[in-house]
C-alpha cells in the first residue's frame, strides 16, 4: 500500500521535494533547462563548426594521401625503368667484358703457340747446328788422326826398316798394318 | 569536494566502520549559489555549462588546425570523431547515418565529458548522475526514432509491432505485447536510467570509499588501530576510481550506440 | 505493528532490488558469453555481433534498471 501511495503522490505532485529517494530519480526542472541549454551549445557547435571542419580536413588529407600515393607510384615506375636501364647496361658491360676476355685469351693462346713454335724451331736449329758442328769436328778429327797415324806409322816403319828390314815376317806385318790403316 | 565534506562531517568514526551519509540526496543536490529570475543556479548547473564549454573546447582545439599531420591531441580527438562517425553512425545506421551524425557526435562527446567529470580532480561530480541530462537525451532519442519510424512506415510501424506477421498466430499477441511495451515504453526509460544509475552508483561508491578512507586515516590518533580500516577503504576507492574511468567511457559509448541502434531499427523496420 | 512495517520499507526494497538484479545478472552473463563465443568463431562478424550484443544486454538490463528505479520509489515513503 505504501508503494501505491507513493505512486499516487508521484502522479499528483511530480516532484517529491520532500527529500525522499524519489527526488534523486526525477529530473530537477532548473537542471533540465540548464542541461538542455548546455547540450544545445554542444550540438550547434558540432553541427555548424566541428563536422564541416572535420570533413574538410579529412577530405584534404585524403586528397593529399591520394596525391602522395600517385606521386609514389610515379617515382616507383621511374625507379623501375631506371633499374631496367641499369640492368641492361650491366648486361651489356658484362657481355663486353666477356668478349674482351675471350679476345685476350685467344690472343694469348695465339702468342703462346707462336712462342712455342719459334722456340721449337730455334731448338731444332740449334740442335742441327750442333750436330753439324759435331759431324765436321768428327771429320776433322778423323782426318787429323789418319794423318798422324800415317806419319807415326811411317816413322815407326822407318825405324824398323832402318834397323832390320829384312825378314819376311816384318815385311808382312808392315803390309797388313798398312792395309788396316787403309781400312780406317 | 563539497560533497566529501558533507559526508565526512557526520561521520561517527567511533561507532561506524564506513561513513554513510544520512541521506543519499545530499551527495547529489547542492545548495543554490545565486538566483537569476527564479532560476536557481547550483553547482550542478554551473558544471553543466562547464561541461558544454569543455566539450566545445576539446573539439575546437582538437580540430582547429587544418594540418595534414595532426598533433597528438588532435589525432586523439580525430580518432574519437572517426570512431563515432564510422564505428557508430556508418556501421550501425548505414549511409543514412550521416544525417544523424551531429546529434550522435554531440551526444557522445557531451556525455563523455559529463561522465568523466566524476573522476576529474576538483570537480568530482558526474553531471550525468542528475536525471536531467539522461532524461532529456533519452527523450530526444525517443522522439527521433518514433518520428523516423512513423515517417518511414506510416502506421505499419505501430500495427506490425503489435501484430507481427512473422510470429505464429498463437504467440503473436504475446510477442506483440512485449514488443509494444519494450519499444514504446521501456526503451527511453531504460536508456535514461542506465546512464543515470551507473553514474549515481559510481559517484556513491567513490564518495563513500574515498571519504571513509580519508576520515578513518586522519582519525587514527583518536581511535587507534580501528582507523587502519581507512587504508582499505581508500585502496578500494582508488581501484573504483580507475574502474569509473572505464565505466564513464563505456556508458557514453553505449548510450550513443543504443541511440543509433534504435534509429536504425526504425529506418529498417521489418517484422 | 504499523510502525514496524514502516521501518521495514527501506531494507525490504533493498532486498527486492537485490532479488531483481539476479535475473539480469545471469542474463547479461549469458548474452556476453555467447557474443564472445560468436566473435571467436567468426571474427569478421565482430561489428554486427557487438551491436546485437549491446541490444540484447539493453533488453536484459532493462529489468535491473526498473528495479533500481522502483527501489527509489519504494524507499521514498
Q: Where are the domains of chain A?
A: 28-183
Task: State the smallest CA–CA distance between residue B78 and chain A in angstroms.
Answer: 8
Q: For chain C, percent helix, then strand, then coil, each to nearest 5?
A: 95, 0, 5
Q: Where are the alpha helices (DSSP H) in A28-50?
A: 29-45
Chain A hits for B78, Cβ within 8 Å: 54, 57
Mean pLDDT of chain A: 81
Beta bridge partners, B36, equal B39
Report the residue of A34, A43, A62 to disrupt the B interface, i.e. the one with the largest count of B CBs within 10 Å.
Answer: A34
Q: What is the pLDDT of residues A86-137, one digit of tens each?
A: 999 999 999 999 999 999 999 999 999 999 999 999 999 999 999 999 999 9
Q: Would you tell me how many other CB atoms lie within 10 Å of the CB of residue A171?
A: 12
Q: Would you tell me how many other CB atoms lie within 10 Å of the CB of residue A23?
A: 20
Q: Would you tell me how many other CB atoms lie within 10 Å of the CB of residue B150?
A: 15
Q: Which of A21, A25, A51 has its CB closest to that of B131?
A: A25
Q: Which of C51, C55, C65 has its CB closest to that of B193?
A: C65
Task: State the smallest CA–CA distance between residue B187 and chain C in angstroms.
Answer: 8
Query: In the prediction, which pLDDT does A20 show?
Result: 53
Q: Which residues of C44-55 are buried (b: 16+ CB within 10 A; e: fewer)?
A: eeeeebbbebbb
Instruction: State yes or no: pLDDT of B55 exceeds 90.
Output: yes
Radius of gyration (C-alpha) of chain A in whole angstroms: 68
DSSP character at residue B17? S
Q: Which residue has the cell 543554490?
A: B32
For residue B130, give the chain A residue with the closest CA: A27
Going by their DSSP bridges, the two strands B34-36 and B39-41 should be labelled as antiparallel
Q: How far apart are CA B262 and CA B43, in angstroms?
A: 33
Q: Which of C55, C59, C65 has its CB closest to that of B197?
A: C65
Q: How far apart are CA A25 and CA A16, in angstroms?
A: 10
Find all residues with CB under 8 Å of B98, minimum gap 6, and list them: B89, B90
Chain C hits for B257, Cβ within 8 Å: 51, 54
C-beta pairs of B181-189 under 8 Å, 24+ apart in sequence: B182/C59, B182/C62, B184/B146, B186/C62, B186/C66, B187/B142, B187/B145, B187/B262, B188/B138, B188/B139, B188/B141, B188/B142, B189/B138, B189/C62, B189/C65, B189/C66, B189/C69
Task: State the smallest CA–CA distance between residue B22 and chain C in angstroms.
Answer: 13
Q: What is the pLDDT of residues C13-51, one digit of tens each?
A: 888 888 989 999 999 999 999 999 999 999 888 888 988
Q: ∠ at Cα C31 (C40, B262), nearest 5°?
A: 105
Q: Where are the alpha helices (DSSP H) in B64-186?
A: 72-82, 97-116, 132-153, 156-162, 169-180
Q: Would you tell me how many other CB atoms lie within 10 Å of the CB of residue A61?
A: 16
- Domain, as residue range, for B225: 2-267
Query: In the prediction, which pLDDT does A64 show?
Result: 85
Query: In the prediction, which pLDDT does B104 show?
Result: 94
**Based on the structure, what is the number of domains in chain B?**
1
Q: How far is CA A57 from CA A49, A65, B91, B144, in A?
A: 12, 12, 21, 29
Q: How far apart are CA B221 and CA B260, in angstroms?
A: 55
Model confidence at B102, in pLDDT bands (50, 70, 90)? very high
Chain A contact present for C72, CB below 8 A = yes
Radius of gyration (C-alpha) of chain B in whole angstroms: 23
Q: Which residue has the cell 555481433?
A: C49
Task: State the smallest CA–CA distance between residue C62 and chain B in angstroms.
Answer: 6
Averaged pLDDT, B157-176: 84
Chain A contact present for C9, CB below 8 A = yes
How distant is the alpha carbon of residue B104 from its chain centre? 14
For residue B28, give the chain A residue with the closest CA: A24
Chain C contact present for A7, CB below 8 A = yes
Task: List the domains of chain C with CATH numbers.
Answer: 2-75 (1.20.20.10)
More confident residue, B27 or B271: B27
Give the neighbours of chain C: at least 3 Cβ pairs within 8 Å.
Answer: A, B
Q: Which helix (H) or strand (E) holds B34?
A: strand B34-36
Amino acid at each position: 500500500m505504501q508503494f501505491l501511495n507513493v505512486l499516487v503522490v508521484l502522479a499528483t505532485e511530480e516532484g517529491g521535494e520532500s527529500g525522499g529517494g524519489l527526488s534523486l530519480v526525477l529530473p530537477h526542472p532548473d537542471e533540465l533547462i540548464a542541461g538542455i541549454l548546455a547540450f544545445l551549445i554542444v550540438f550547434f557547435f558540432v553541427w555548424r563548426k566541428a563536422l564541416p571542419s572535420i570533413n574538410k580536413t579529412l577530405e584534404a588529407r585524403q586528397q593529399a594521401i591520394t596525391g602522395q600515393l600517385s606521386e609514389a607510384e610515379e617515382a616507383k615506375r621511374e625507379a623501375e625503368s631506371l633499374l631496367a636501364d641499369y640492368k641492361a647496361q650491366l648486361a651489356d658491360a658484362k657481355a663486353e667484358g666477356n668478349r674482351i676476355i675471350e679476345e685476350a685469351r685467344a690472343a694469348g693462346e695465339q702468342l703462346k703457340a707462336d712462342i712455342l713454335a719459334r722456340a721449337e724451331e730455334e731448338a731444332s736449329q740449334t740442335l742441327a747446328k750442333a750436330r753439324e758442328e759435331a759431324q765436321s769436328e768428327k771429320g776433322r778429327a778423323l782426318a787429323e788422326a789418319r794423318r798422324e797415324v800415317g806419319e807415326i806409322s811411317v816413322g815407326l816403319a822407318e825405324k824398323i826398316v832402318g834397323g832390320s828390314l829384312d825378314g819376311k815376317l816384318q815385311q808382312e806385318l808392315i803390309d797388313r798394318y798398312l792395309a788396316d790403316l787403309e781400312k780406317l | 569536494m563539497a560533497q566529501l565534506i558533507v559526508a565526512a562531517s557526520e561521520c561517527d568514526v567511533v561507532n561506524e566502520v564506513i561513513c554513510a551519509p544520512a541521506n543519499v540526496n545530499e551527495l547529489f543536490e547542492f545548495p543554490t549559489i545565486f538566483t537569476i529570475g527564479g532560476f536557481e543556479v547550483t553547482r550542478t548547473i554551473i558544471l553543466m555549462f562547464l561541461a558544454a564549454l569543455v566539450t566545445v573546447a576539446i573539439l575546437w582545439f582538437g580540430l582547429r588546425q587544418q594540418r595534414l599531420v595532426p598533433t597528438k591531441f588532435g589525432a586523439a580527438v580525430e580518432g574519437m570523431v572517426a570512431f563515432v562517425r564510422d564505428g557508430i553512425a556508418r556501421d550501425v545506421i548505414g549511409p543514412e547515418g550521416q544525417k544523424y551524425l551531429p546529434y550522435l557526435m554531440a551526444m557522445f562527446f557531451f556525455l563523455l565529458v559529463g561522465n568523466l567529470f566524476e573522476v576529474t580532480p576538483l570537480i568530482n561530480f558526474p553531471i550525468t548522475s542528475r536525471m536531467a541530462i539522461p532524461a532529456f537525451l533519452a527523450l530526444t532519442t525517443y522522439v527521433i526514432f518514433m518520428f523516423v519510424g512513423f515517417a518511414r512506415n506510416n502506421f505499419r510501424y505501430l500495427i506490425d509491432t503489435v501484430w507481427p506477421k512473422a510470429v505464429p498466430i498463437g504467440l503473436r499477441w504475446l510477442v506483440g505485447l512485449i514488443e509494444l511495451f519494450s519499444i514504446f515504453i521501456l526503451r527511453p526509460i531504460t536508456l535514461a536510467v542506465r546512464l543515470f544509475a551507473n553514474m549515481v552508483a559510481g559517484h556513491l561508491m567513490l564518495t563513500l570509499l574515498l571519504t571513509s578512507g580519508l576520515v578513518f586515516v586522519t582519525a587514527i590518533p583518536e581511535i587507534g588501530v580501528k582507523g587502519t580500516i581507512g587504508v582499505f577503504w581508500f585502496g578500494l576507492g582508488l581501484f573504483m576510481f580507475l574502474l569509473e574511468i572505464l565505466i564513464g567511457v563505456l556508458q557514453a559509448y553505449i548510450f550513443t550506440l543504443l541511440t543509433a541502434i534504435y534509429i536504425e531499427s526504425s529506418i529498417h523496420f521489418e517484422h | 505493528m504499523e510502525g514496524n512495517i514502516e521501518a521495514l520499507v527501506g531494507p525490504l526494497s533493498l532486498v527486492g532490488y537485490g532479488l531483481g538484479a539476479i535475473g539480469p545478472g545471469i542474463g547479461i552473463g549469458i548474452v556476453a558469453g555467447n557474443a564472445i563465443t560468436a566473435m571467436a568463431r567468426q571474427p569478421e562478424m565482430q561489428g554486427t555481433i557487438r551491436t546485437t550484443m549491446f541490444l540484447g544486454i539493453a533488453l536484459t538490463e532493462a529489468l535491473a534498471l526498473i528495479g533500481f528505479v522502483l527501489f527509489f520509489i519504494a524507499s521514498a515513503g
